[in-house]
Amino acid sequence: MGGTKPSNKHAETFISPANKNKNGVSLRLVIKGHDLRAIDEHAIESFPLECVGLMMGSLSEGDFKIEHIEKGKNIKGSSTLFEADPVFVLNAIKNAEEKGLDLVGIYHSHPNAGAFISIVDAEFMRLWQSVVWLVLGVRKGAVTERRAFLMKGDRIEEIEIKIG
């Protein structure tokens, strides 16, 4: 699993929010405040490198409900590329499944850039289409922006982030 933001190029497949499932229900990333703060802290601690982590939970009525996060290590050690250790990913998914949870999201940061889906991010999203991607823009050691995205076929859609 990996992603990047080469030259701030955005994925050409990005579209404006059309964030509804096939039944017309709005899609949302629902995350508790303390989990979002932990993700922010991970991005700040990793700065100026990209961070990466997993979000475990469930999908219900269009909501990707986050129950637990797993902070990963960016084994690329890069400010423009991330990769999580495959053993970490496998163990995190196994642990989540033992608790009745699923992998419902991946998060990563863009140091000194905005929260967007890059061309390389989009390529990796094709492999992980059933999960939400939370991207954090981090500048000067502070989170400045958060956006969540979901790939449907060849289209990337932005979905709402609900804290609660």
pLDDT above 70: residue 25: no
- Percentage, residues of the chain above pLDDT 90: 77
Residues 129-151: b if buried by 16+ CB within 10 A, e if exposed: eebbbbbbbbeeeebeebbbbbb
Residue 15 lies in a domain: yes
Residue 142 lies in a domain: yes
- With bands split at pLDDT 50, 70 and 90, how would you rate the model's confidence at 21? low
Q: Which residue has the higher pLDDT, 17 or 156?
A: 156
Torsion sign, CA atoms 110, 116, 119, 121: positive
pLDDT of residue 26: 85
Q: Averaged over 125-137, what is the pLDDT?
A: 95
Nearest to 163 by CA among 51, 20, 37, 56: 37
pLDDT of residue 19: 59
pLDDT of residue 22: 62
What six digits make up the tokens of 155?
Answer: 């289209």
Q: What angle do CA 22, 69, 131 make, to 5 degrees?
A: 25
Residue 1 lies in a domain: no
pLDDT above 80: residue 17: no
pLDDT above 90: residue 88: yes
Choose the weakest-confidence range: 3-17, 29-43, 73-87, 101-115. 3-17
Collapse the DSSP code of 151 into the 3-class scheme (helix H, G, I; strand E, B; otherwise coil) and give the result.
strand
- How many folded domains does the chain comprise? 1
For the entire predicted model, the pTM comes to 0.87
Q: Averaged over 29-50, what is the pLDDT?
A: 98
Q: Averaged over 42-67, what is the pLDDT?
A: 97
Q: Which residue has the higher pLDDT, 64 or 25?
A: 64
Residue 133 lies in a domain: yes
Residue 89 structural domain: 9-163
Instruction: Quickly count: other Cβ atoms within 10 Å of residue 3's Cβ.
Output: 25
Residue-averaged pLDDT of the chain: 89
- With bands split at pLDDT 50, 70 and 90, how would you rate the model's confidence at 24? low
Residue 147 lies in a domain: yes
pLDDT above 60: residue 122: yes
Residue 4 lies in a domain: no
Task: Give me the CATH number covering residue 22.
Answer: 3.40.140.10
